[in-house]
Structure 1
């Protein structure tokens, strides 16, 4: 196992069968580690979790007390970059992350390539250049963490919307009620929907139209009138519903129904 260190970042080349990285003090957590699997297959253990790795894959973990890399075949090799307390404030150590850096992710590609090159370039470089490279690496890691946090937040938000969708059948369920159900202010809710190029009101109208369309397709509801189905899905004005339905699906509700 070969180790090198600069600007608070430690580089480690791991080869079969095992590589272990641990903090110097028992209660100290390293701020981050990026494991780049250069060859073969391996299993990475950290924070009580196990992550499989294949050649070409990379994993970013933050923070951790100990990292254990175990080769899964005799050809397995990796490069691990890890950083100590000097990075802790930037990477918010109270939040745990384990992020796969995919080949289709620009930030992941930059991080992986940066680590591969820095491992060999840094020892012979000027200290000023080394310091700047360390800052670039830290910036890339922070971007990756922010993107992961944003993606997770989006998933939670979208899951919450799916849960709430059933409540749209009530005509009294409006934008203010939606904000209250999500535990958000109306302004925050509007900003959230703006990220998806829509508004809360537009989303609610679209989901109600989709629910109405599905019920019009349902043969078990063939005996129920179009007007009653529209009202069941939260519409109050049948004329407005008919115009909105035709605008959304290209046919009037009556022409659409089988």
Structure 2
């Protein structure tokens, strides 16, 4: 990653002033105050992963506020950020929610007014991405922004480890591979958020929110060959009949949606150079198909080509 700031290279009495100047230069809509009288310590690194921007920050105890006027100046409404806590603690207040993240947790932060505080020795990794990348699967970000996605979830641990390692290794990869690795990592983030949303005991909700929750659960459990309408309805707290009716109102069938997403994810992986050497049976199992023949039959019905033919058609060979 490219080093932008290292406090130890500056005189103590100029560190925080230079830090604030750097934030302005980087067009970060933040107002910051130190929370103790100790010499300011900070390090800032940045890298580009295709459409994603990754920032690694080590900093002392700070209160950070994103004000409405600063956000308007930035004009970045189409983006959203995900913060991984690598060390220390961070609290986030946004909209009507406040939460704390500890080592291994992640949090989604909208580009909206927010207040954040960090503990001494805090280390964080931030990923800035198009808002649509999350909302197209999980629904409006306001539902999960500032919600702690805990390290107790395996998907969160995978996502954090993936991006922490990518921050160290990206310089050894070509730009196309880096962008693709970033996209794979975002899929892990989506799965983490979906799994966290699915944990909540549902309160009386509108049909649209229930359908969004159901779809988020599907995304997080596509690899489960036993995923079906009864399991899904139990997970979100409604009857199978009610779930079917909600999908029918939107011109969809629950089972059809599950198979559609499995096939779409399978097609993405067949076209992914990073998965070019993955055996078709392994790929099929990871998308929830119980065996390769079942996968091949459904895939050909959907796309008009057998999986191996599809992989050849996109120039990746087949196994």
> Normalising by the residue count of structure 2, what TM-score does the alignment of the two structures yield?
0.42
Contact 1:39 1:78 in 2 (8 A): yes
User: Take 2:107 and 2:96, find their aligned partners in 1: how far apart are those partners?
Assistant: 15
Contact 2:77 2:111 in 1 (8 A): yes
- Give a deviation string over 1:195-242, Cα, whole Å, max 9, x none: 549x97xxxxxxxxxxxxxxxxxxxxxxxxxxxxxxxxxxxxxxxxxx
- State the match for 2:112 in structure 1: 65
Pairs within 5 Å for 1:82-231: 82-85=128-131, 87=133, 90-91=136-137, 94-96=140-142, 97-98=144-145, 99-152=147-200, 155-156=201-202, 191=229, 195-196=233-234
Q: Secondary structure at the match of 1:90?
A: helix
Contact 2:104 2:157 in 1 (8 A): no
Contact 1:6 1:130 in 2 (8 A): yes
- Give structure 1 regions of 4+ aligned residues with deviation exceeding 6 angstroms: 19-24
Alpha carbons of structure 1 residues 66 and 57: separation in structure 2 relative to 1, 3 Å: farther
Contact 1:30 1:63 in 2 (8 A): no
Q: Which runs of 5+ in 2 are unaligned?
A: 1-43, 205-209, 211-228, 240-319
> Normalising by the residue count of structure 1, what TM-score does the alignment of the two structures yield?
0.51
- State the match for 2:46 in structure 1: 3
- Give a deviation string over 1:12-69, Cα, whole Å, max 9, x none: 2221244678868655335443222222223234346432233x23222154335654
Q: Number of matched residues? A: 167
More relative contact order in 1 or in 2 (CA 8 Å, sep 6+)? 1
Alpha carbons of structure 1 residues 12 and 133: separation in structure 2 relative to 1, 3 Å: same
Larger C-alpha radius of gyration, 1 or 2? 1
Q: Pairwise CA RMSD of aligned residues?
A: 3.8
Alpha carbons of structure 1 residues 150 and 5: separation in structure 2 relative to 1, 3 Å: same
User: Take 2:138 and 2:89, find their aligned partners in 1: how far apart are those partners?
Assistant: 30
